[in-house]
Structure 1
Amino acid sequence: MQLSREQLLRAYRQMKTIREFEERLHVEITTGEIAGFTHLYAGQEAVAVGVCEHLTDEDFIVSTHRGHGHCIAKGCDVKAMMKEIYGRRDGLGGGKGGSMHIADTTKGMLGANGIVGAGAPQAVGAAIATKLDGKGRVAVAFSGDGACNQGTTFEAMNMAVVLKVPAIFVFENNHYSEHTGVDYSVGTQRDIASRAEAFGMRVWRANGCDFFDSYEAMRELLEYVRAGNGPAAIEFDTERFFGHFEGDPQRYRGPGELERIRAERDCLVAFRNKVIPAGLIDGAALDQVDAEVVQLIDEAVREARAAEPPRPEDVLTNVYAEY
C-alpha cells in the first residue's frame, strides 16, 4: 500500500516523538525529580506506530509497563504525559499514576499496566463490548515476549477464539523478558506467534524494526479482524535500546550488542534510508520534523517541572468508578 507524503511525515513524526520522549527521560531520570520505575520504549517505535496508524480513537488499546510509545502512537497528549510522569496535577492521570499507569480513554487508550500479561484479558473484555455494539471497532493488547508465558495471556487468547471477538494480540519480541533471553524462556524455539496459532487464530509475523513491514502486516491483519473473522495475533521482532528499567546495568547483554542493534536495527534510520533515495521525502523535511519534535519535548519537560503536584484532597478522587 503506497502511503502519501503526508502519511509518511506523520508516521515519522510519531516515531521521532517517541524516540525523543524516551531519550530525554533517560536523561531526566538522573536528576531525581521523577519518582518510581520507568521502562523506556526506544527502539520499538515502528511497532507502536505501525499498529496505531491504522486505529481510530474509537478503537481500544491496552498497554504494558513499557507503554509511553503506545500512548504517543495512539494520540495521547505528549505534554500531559510528561506531567503525569513527573507526578503533576495536570497529568493524564492527575499525577497519581506515573509512568506505568498512563491512560486516556478519550483516545481509546485503556491504560498502561505494571503487571506482565494483565493487558490481554482486559483487551478481550473490551473486544466483547465492541462485538456487542457492532460498530466494527477492535481491541489491541500489547505485550512482550515475557507475557507470552503468562497464564492470563493463554486464557485470554482461548476466550477470544471461543467468543470470536475482535481482539488483537500484539507480541513485541525484543528478545528479553526483563533480564532473561527469549532463547531460554520461550520453549517454542523463540516462535511466539505459533503459540497464538495453537489456540485457533490466524497469526502474522513482521520486522518490528521496519515501519513499512510493520504497517503492511497490521493492515492485512486489521482487514481480517474487522471483517468479523474473530481474533488474530502478530509477533514483531524488535529491539529495545535501553535496559528493562532505568538503572538496569544490562549485564545480560553480549559484548557490543547494544552498539550493534543501534547501528543495524534503528527503525528511524531504516525509514530515512527508504524514503529519501526513493524520492518520497527529502532529508530537509525530515530534519525539520526532528527540530520540531525536540522543541516539543523541551517544552513538555519545562512545563512539567513548573506544574503543580496533586493537592492533599486529591488523594480520595478517582478511587472508585461512579455510575
Structure 2
Amino acid sequence: MPKTSPAARLELLWMMLFIRRFEEKICEVYGAQDMKTPVHLCIGQEAIAAGVCAHLEREDYLFTTHRGHGHCLAKGMDPYRLYAEFYGRTEGCCYGKGGSMHPAEPSLGILGTSAIVGGGIPTAVGAALASHLRDEPRVSVAFFGDGASEEGVFHESLNFAALKRLPVVFVCENNAYAAGSPLSSRQPHPEIWRHAAGYGIPGVAVDGNDVQAVAESAGAAVARARAGQGPTLLDCKTYIWKGHVGPDCDCARGVRPLAELQAWQARCPLAAFRARLLDEGLLTEAGYAARLAETDARLDADIARAKAAPFPEPDALYTDVYHQRS
C-alpha cells in the first residue's frame, strides 16, 4: 500500500470504524441476555486487523483467536453472519454452533478459529505448507496474543516455517496481558519480535495503534511471503479496552490499573488516524459523520435481522459433527 494513496488510507479508516462499531453494538445489546455466547472484544486493537488484512487476497488464509471478530470482518466476513452466529441462529457462519470464538468462512480463506491459546499458529503453518507444495500464491496469516508466544507450538511453528521458507506471516497482538496476567510477570522482556532472530527470520516491532505503520510493515511481510522468501514475525504493541471476556472493563476489579487504560485510550487508533486524515484534508467532519451513520444503520439492521433468525432444529445437533468422505 503506497504511503501516498488517499483511497487506501481512507479504506483503513473505514475498516477500523466498521470494526469498532460492530463491537460497540455487541456492548449495547449484550446486557439483554439474548446473546448467550461469551464475547472477547478487540476494541482498541482495530488498527492491526485493518492494517494486516488490507494486503490479503480473498484466497489467502487467515487463522485467528478467541478475539477474532475484527480479523474476520477485515477479511470480508458479512457482519450479519457473525451476529447470527453469536445469537445461535441457523444463518450464522457456523449455523449457530460456533459462537463468538469459533467463526469460519472457508470461501474467504477463514478455515476455522481456535480458542486454544496458540492453536491457530500451527494450522496457519500447515496451510502455508500446503500452498507451498501446491505451488499456489496463497499467503497464510496467524494472529495471536503475547500469551501464545509462551507456548511451545509458537517456537516449533516458527522453526518449521523458517526451515521450509513457508508463505506465512505471524502477527502478535501484543497487548501486554494474557487474561489478567501482565507480560512483565511472565517473560523477562516485552519484545516478542526478538524471538525471530533465533530462527533466522525478520522480526519487526510495530506500533499496533498506528494503522498506517501496521499496514506498511504487513505489506512488506506479505510481499516477502508471496515472493517465496519465507515468514516474518510482526510484534504489534497495542491494548484492549474491555476486559478479557465480556463487554465490561476489568479495571474495577483490580485486574488492570485504570490509569493504564486511560493512557492507552488517549492513543485510540481510530481517533488518531481520523485526526491525521482531517489535518491532511483527506477527510471532512461531514464525510466522517455520514459514514458513521451509514455504518450504524447497517449494523443495527443486521442485529435486528440476526435476532429474528430461526434457531436450529433439535436434530441439527447431530449434523456437521464430523466430516465423512463420500
CA distance in 2, matches of 1:12, 1:105: 26
Matches of 1:197 and 1:308, distance apart in 2: 51
The Cα of 1:283 is off from its aligned counterpart by: 2.3
Give the length in aligned residue pairs.
321
Q: CA RMSD in A?
A: 1.4
Per mean C-alpha deviation after superposition, the further-off stretch among 26-35 and 145-154 is 26-35
Residue of 280, 297, 300 corresponding to 1:298: 300
* Correspondence for 1:260: 263
Q: Report 1:167-178 matches (<5 A).
A: 167-178=168-179
Matched residue, 1:212: 212
Q: Counterpart of 1:28?
A: 29
Q: CA deviation at 1:3?
A: 4.8
Deviation at 1:208, TM superposition (A): 0.6
> 2:268 is aligned with what amino acid?
D
User: What is the CA distance between 1:249 and its match in structure 2?
Assistant: 3.1
The answer to whether the 8 A contact 1:186-1:192 is kept is no
Contact 1:118 1:153 in 2 (8 A): no
Once the two structures are overlaid, the 10-residue window that deviates more, 5-14 or 60-69, is 5-14
TM-score scaled by structure 2? Answer: 0.95
Higher alpha-carbon deviation: 253-262 or 306-315: 253-262
1:166-189 alpha-carbon deviations (Å, 9 max, x no partner): 1111000011110011111122x1
Structure 1 residue matching 2:258: 3-state secondary structure: coil
- The aligned counterpart of 2:314 is 312
Which amino acid letter does the alignment assign opposite residue 78 of structure 2? D
Match of 2:137 in 1: 136
Q: TM-score, normalised by structure 1?
A: 0.96
Tell me if the contact between 2:64 and 2:113 (Cα under 8 Å) persists in the aligned partners: yes
- Say if 2:250 and 2:256, in contact at 8 Å, map to a contact too: no
1: CA distance between counterparts of 2:306 and 2:4? 35
1:121-160 matches, within 5 Å, as 121-160=122-161
Q: Which residue of 2 aligns with 1:202?
A: 202
Alpha-carbon distance between aligned partners in 2 of 1:257 and 1:231, rounded to the nearest angstrom = 33
Q: Shift in Å at residue 257 of structure 1?
A: 2.3
Number of the residue aligned with 1:97: 98
Q: Secondary structure at the match of 1:99?
A: coil
- Could you tell me how far apart the structure 2 residues matched to 1:156 and 1:147 are? 12
Equivalent residue, structure 1, for 2:71: 70
Over the matched positions of the two proteins, sequence identity in percent amounts to: 37
In the TM superposition, 1:77-96 aligns within 5 A as 77-96=78-97
In structure 2, C-alpha distance between the alignment counterparts of 1:276 and 1:130, rounded to whole Å: 41
CA–CA separation in structure 2 for the residues paired with 1:238 and 1:180: 16
**Following TM superposition, by how much is the alpha carbon of 1:255 offset from its aligned partner in structure 2, in angstroms?**
3.5
Check whether the contact 2:85–2:99 (CA below 8 A) recurs between aligned residues.
yes
Would the aligned equivalents of 2:195 and 2:203 in 1 still touch at CA under 8 Å? no
**Structure 1, residues 133-192: CA drift from partner, whole Å, max 9, x if none?**
2222111110000100011111111111122211111000011110011111122x1010
Contact preservation (8 Å) 1:166, 1:225: yes
CA distance in 1, matches of 2:151, 2:93: 29
1:184–1:58: structure 2 CA closer, same or farther, 3 Å change rule?
Answer: same
Where structure 2 has 5 or more consecutive residues not aligned to the other structure, the ranges are none
Cross-structure match for 2:121: 120
Partner of 2:290: 288
Q: Secondary structure of the equivalent of 2:101?
A: helix
Q: How big is the shift at 1:248?
A: 6.3
Q: In the alignment, which residue of structure 2 is the partner of 1:221?
A: 221
More displaced 10-residue stretch of structure 1: 138-147 or 201-210: 201-210
